């Protein structure tokens, strides 16, 4: 198993995010530890100061971006009720 040093992990995290793969697929292709990839993803999001609900909204937005760029015959992706997956609105709460 590959063991990148801490200076290399930001590059791996960015490559994972850009890949569009699931974590298990990515680590299998690159011979990396799943737990370590998850740790560095957590660190990245912690530095950005995002809440879990904001991360979930980012994930839904990333899915929609990818889904809208992919052709699904007979399915109007933009009409799917995905707002429910974004969680409750936190507008007005700091």
Query: For residue 9, what pLDDT is reported?
Result: 86
Spatial CA neighbour of 40 closest among 52, 51, 27, 57: 27
Question: Cβ atoms within 10 A of the Cβ of 68, count?
Answer: 11
Confidence of residue 3 (pLDDT cuts 50, 70, 90): confident
Confidence of residue 94 (pLDDT cuts 50, 70, 90): very low
Task: Please tell me whether the overall predicted TM-score, pTM, comes out greater than 0.75 for this model.
Answer: no
Confidence of residue 77 (pLDDT cuts 50, 70, 90): low
Query: CA-to-CA distance for 23 and 82, rounded, in angstroms?
Result: 22
Domain ranges of the chain: 9-48, 52-86
Query: CA-to-CA distance for 77 and 74, rounded, in angstroms?
Result: 9
pLDDT in tens, 14-69: 898 889 889 999 999 999 999 998 988 888 777 766 565 565 666 666 666 666 66
């Amino acid at each position: 198993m590959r063991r990148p040093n801490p200076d290399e992990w930001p590059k791996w995290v960015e490559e994972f995010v850009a890949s569009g793969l699931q974590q298990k697929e990515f680590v299998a292709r690159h011979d990396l530890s799943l737990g370590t990839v998850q740790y560095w993803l957590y660190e990245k999001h912690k530095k950005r100061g995002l809440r879990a609900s904001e991360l979930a909204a980012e994930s839904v937005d990333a899915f929609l971006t990818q889904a809208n760029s992919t052709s699904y015959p007979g399915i109007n992706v933009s009409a799917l009720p995905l707002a429910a997956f974004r969680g409750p609105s936190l507008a007005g709460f700091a």
